[in-house]
């Protein structure tokens, strides 16, 4: 594990039972992946609850999640009216975690690019010495990596991470990945209405805002595997907009330093 320190965070008071963890997954047309993913999540994190945030998937993803919820009290589904963006889906999950008094909220992709076998490392790392506020599943530290990407995509991802780290003053090696565990008490310090990002730049922006709130970060290695089933949601226009948002936040970051 690779630790990144901002201002010290005060540890929560010790708990008698296992910490309440909410695993969250944003979905749109993931019926090919979600049933197996939910099974794997509950295998590797049996004490966690799981929240599906579904953007009105026409393939029945949300209906399946409702049926699973009726069978297993650990599974919940939040339905939205349509494709409103990954950033807003994650914010909805964060608000849900706060409202339902979870201790940790762990976000992951629905397509098995984030394998559930890493859940124990992400959750367990939160209370390692010293405790942290964000555990990042990192492709870009020792023992991390990517499978199934062409060279062009690997270079683009590395470039975006360097771009964000430079402009936003972030020390994490993997700023753009969504596989993270957050301390909900720290999320309460954020003004969600001030967040600009709706798509890809959300991951960088939320780290930047948490850094400004005094959060401590740590990274643990993961192997990111490109999706095997279903259709990729990558949107070129959204990617360009993400670069613009990061640039605007970067200007704010550096002007504040001067």
**Is pLDDT above 50 for 258?**
no
The hierarchical CATH code for the domain 2-9+18-257 is 3.90.550.10
Secondary structure, 3-state, the chain: CEEECCCCCCCCCCCCCCCCEEEEEEECCCCCCHHHHHHHHHHHCCCCEEEEEECCCCCCHHHHHHHHHHHCCCEEEEECCCCCCHHHHHHHHHHHHHHCCCCEEEEECCCCCCCHHHHHHHHHHHHCCCCCCEEEEECCCCCCEEECCCHHHHHHHHHHHHHHHHHHCCCCCCCCCCCEEEEHHHHCCCCHHHCCCCCCCHHHHHHHHHHHCCCCEEEEECEEECCCCCCCCCCHHHHHHHHHHHHHHHHHHHHHHC
Rounded mean pLDDT of 80-106?
Answer: 95
**pLDDT at res. 254:** 79
How far apart are the C-alpha atoms of 94 and 100, rounded to whole Å? 10
How far apart are the C-alpha atoms of 48 and 38, rounded to whole Å? 11
**pLDDT at res. 21:** 98
**pLDDT at res. 231:** 57
Rounded mean pLDDT of 86-115?
Answer: 96
**pLDDT at res. 8:** 43
Q: What is the pTM of this model?
A: 0.87
Rounded mean pLDDT of 78-82?
Answer: 95
List pLDDT tens digits, range 106-162: 999 999 999 999 999 999 999 999 999 999 999 999 999 999 999 999 999 999 999
List pLDDT tens digits, range 227-256: 766 555 556 777 788 888 899 899 888 777
């Amino acid at each position: 594990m690779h630790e990144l320190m901002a201002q010290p965070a005060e540890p929560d008071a010790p708990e008698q039972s296992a910490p309440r963890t909410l695993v969250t997954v944003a979905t749109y047309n993931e019926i090919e992946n979600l049933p197996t993913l939910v099974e794997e999540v509950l295998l590797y994190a049996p004490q966690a609850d799981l929240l599906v945030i579904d953007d009105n998937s026409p393939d029945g993803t949300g209906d399946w999640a409702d049926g699973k919820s009726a069978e297993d009290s650990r599974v919940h589904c939040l339905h939205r009216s349509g494709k409103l963006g990954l950033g807003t889906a994650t914010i909805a999950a964060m608000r849900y975690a706060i409202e339902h008094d979870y201790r940790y909220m762990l976000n992951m992709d629905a397509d098995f690019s984030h394998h559930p076998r890493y859940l124990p490392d992400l959750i367990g790392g939160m209370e390692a010495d010293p405790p942290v506020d964000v555990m990042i599943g990192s492709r870009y530290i020792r023992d991390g990596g990517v499978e199934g990407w062409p060279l062009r995509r690997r270079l683009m991802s590395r470039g975006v991470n360097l771009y964000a780290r430079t402009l936003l003053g972030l020390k994490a090696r993997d700023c753009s990945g969504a596989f993270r565990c957050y301390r909900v008490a720290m999320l309460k310090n954020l003004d969600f209405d001030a967040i600009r990002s709706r798509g890809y730049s959300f991951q960088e922006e939320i780290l930047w805002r948490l850094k400004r709130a005094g959060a401590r970060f740590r990274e643990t290695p993961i192997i990111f595997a490109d999706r095997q089933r279903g259709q990729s949601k990558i949107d070129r226009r959204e990617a360009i907009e993400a670069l613009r948002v990061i640039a605007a936040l970067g200007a704010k970051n550096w002007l504040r330093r001067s």
